[in-house]
Amino acid sequence: MKNFDVPIIYRSPLITAIKKKRKEEDKLKKDFTPTLLDMGNLQIYLARHFGFCYGVENAIEIAFHTIEDNPDKRIFLLSEMIHNPQVNADLRDRGVRFMQDTMGQQLISFDELKQDDVVIIPAFGTTLEIEEMLHQKGINTAEYNTTCPFVQRVWNRSEAIAKKDYTIIIHGKPKHEETRATFSHAMQNAPSVVVKDMKEAEELALFIEGKKTVAEFFTRFDGQYSKGFDPTIHLKRIGVVNQTTMLASDTQSIADYLKKVIIQATGSQDSFADTRDTLCYATNDNQTSVSDMLTVNADLAIVVGGYNSSNTSHLVELCEEKFPTYFINNEEKIISNQEILHYNFHNREELTTHHWLPNHAPVKILLTSGASCPDALVEGVIDRLAGFFNAQEAKEKLISFFKD
């Protein structure tokens, strides 16, 4: 796989050494057991796979090279490059201006754009409507398009099954940038509808089975279906694709469920298209790594990443099933060994927990991060924890250990 030129500020000597050693020992990526960082009274179990994925590193490389190559031009991003506050802040500090927020609300009017401006398409991709608008303004987007290749693979798969007269069901968060982009690309080729979760899939099934009316469909899925969608016609042959950062197990469960429903309703095996190949490898690897990490008899889990990061929130969701879990976006949220400021993504609020570290030895902590989180932040968390246990020297020795 390609090596990307990512700024050194996002790298970590310890994490780089660990990942290199694990890769050398497990070239086929079949071992998902966590890596033990034994620092005496502090034992950290680091997920096998975590942090920057291929798509994120590709996007960061393009963005920073774009800044270097265009010192005299105005540079805009359609929205956040990735869902990580540090990376986006670094881009802003270098003069990049963000045109929309993550929900698609306009921050800078497209009317301000000029033909010689540089506009970067983020890793999530963008809608065909926005791409066409930029082309009409004479703005070249191809050179500065950082859309993740695995997102594009979902679009290509959607197009392929659309040509066989399948309707596209998209498992994703309707307002998420990637889902909006995928919906735009999908509905160019076929009738399309977005379902957020299994509950919505079960509600969609009622229309597949003809148990609810067209009027009820338009009300229930308002804003989530393509123009001209007719549930009496377009729910006879379907295929399921996903927002790549959703829980892979959830997407598969939804696909399996809808497959069973539509085959029973139509009596035809051909009424459902197989789209398993649209699941993102990085999402799968990170989630499988967390599942293996959860077999450890630990005290708690820490997940590092942007609070608006979908893939990170799903890692938190997995950890919460078994352990007290603290979702933080940098080491500064760990105020002390008695106090931590962390994010409840269910209620979308930060809260403070006291006496969060257990008073026994050794303390066993599970640690992972989202696909848009720099390794440097993960090492920062390890440094902060090591300080509470006077384990700084032991932590430094780990770098030599994993390099050997």
Alpha helices in 52-116 (DSSP H): 54-69, 85-93
**Cα–Cα dist 54/57, whole Å:** 5
| CB neighbourhood size of 54 (10 A) | 17
- Do 89 and 123 share a domain, yes or no? yes
**Cα–Cα dist 259/267, whole Å:** 11
What are the C-alpha distances in Å from 80 to residues 65, 77, 245, 308, 316? Answer: 17, 7, 16, 11, 22
By the 10 Å C-beta count (0-12 exposed, 13-18 middle, 19+ buried), 16 is classed as: middle
Give pLDDT, residue 189: 94
Q: Is the pLDDT of residue 379 over 80?
A: yes
Domain with residue 117: its CATH number is: 3.40.50.11270
- Taking each helix axis as running N to C, give the angle between helix 198-208 and helix 248-266, from 0 to 180 degrees, rounded to the nearest 10: 10
| Position 3 in a domain | no
Instruction: Name residue, tokens 């829980």.
Output: 247
- Least confident range from 184-198, 244-258, 330-344: namely 244-258
Torsion of CA 104, 107, 108, 110, to 10 degrees: 20
Give pLDDT, residue 23: 93
Instruction: Name residue, tokens 């269910």.
Output: 346
**Cα–Cα dist 243/227, whole Å:** 20
**Cα–Cα dist 396/394, whole Å:** 5
How many structural domains comprise the chain?
Answer: 3
pLDDT in tens, 54-85: 999 999 999 999 999 999 999 999 998 888 99
Give pLDDT, residue 277: 64
Q: Is the pLDDT of residue 368 over 90?
A: yes
Give pLDDT, residue 22: 95
Give pLDDT, residue 278: 72
- Do 270 and 385 share a domain, yes or no? no
- Do 80 and 177 share a domain, yes or no? no
By the 10 Å C-beta count (0-12 exposed, 13-18 middle, 19+ buried), 228 is classed as: exposed
Give pLDDT, residue 235: 97
Instruction: Give 210-229 as a DSSP string.
Output: T-S-HHHHHHHTTTSB-TT-
| Position 177 in a domain | yes
Confidence of residue 204 (pLDDT cuts 50, 70, 90): very high
- Do 48 and 101 share a domain, yes or no? no
| Position 1 in a domain | no
By the 10 Å C-beta count (0-12 exposed, 13-18 middle, 19+ buried), 114 is classed as: exposed
pLDDT in tens, 124-166: 999 999 999 999 999 988 889 999 999 999 999 999 999 999 9
Q: Is the pLDDT of residue 245 over 90?
A: no
- Do 29 and 127 share a domain, yes or no? no
Q: Is the pLDDT of residue 2 over 80?
A: no
Q: Where are the beta strands (DSSP E) in 141-225?
A: 167-171, 192-195
Confidence of residue 249 (pLDDT cuts 50, 70, 90): confident
Tokens of 123: 């890793």
Cis peptide before 324 (omega within 30 of 0): no
Question: Which residues pair with residue 353 across a beta bridge?
Answer: 340
Give pLDDT, residue 147: 95
Mean pLDDT rounded to a whole number for the chain: 94
Query: Of 251, 279, 307, which residue is a domain's last?
Result: 279
pLDDT in tens, 301-319: 999 999 999 899 999 999 9
Instruction: Name residue, tokens 């990735």.
Output: 82
The DSSP code for 57 is H
pLDDT in tens, 79-120: 988 889 999 999 999 999 999 988 889 999 999 999 999 999
- pTM of the full structure: 0.90
Query: Computed from CA positions of residues 290, 341, 56, 127, in that sequence, does the dihedral angle turn out positive or negative?
Result: positive
- Do 240 and 299 share a domain, yes or no? no
97-98: strand order across its sheet:
97-98, 75-77, 118-120
Of 376, 286, 330, nearest to 55 by C-alpha is: 286
| Position 309 in a domain | yes
- Do 297 and 234 share a domain, yes or no? no
- Do 289 and 327 share a domain, yes or no? yes
- Do 156 and 263 share a domain, yes or no? yes
The question of whether 178 is a catalytic residue gets the answer: yes
Q: Where are the beta strands (DSSP E) in 143-296?
A: 167-171, 192-195, 238-242, 272-273
- Do 195 and 258 share a domain, yes or no? yes
Catalytic pick from 57, 80, 177, 178? 178
Q: Which domain, by its residues, includes 63?
A: 54-144
| Position 104 in a domain | yes
Domain with residue 171: its CATH number is: 3.40.1010.20
Confidence of residue 43 (pLDDT cuts 50, 70, 90): very high
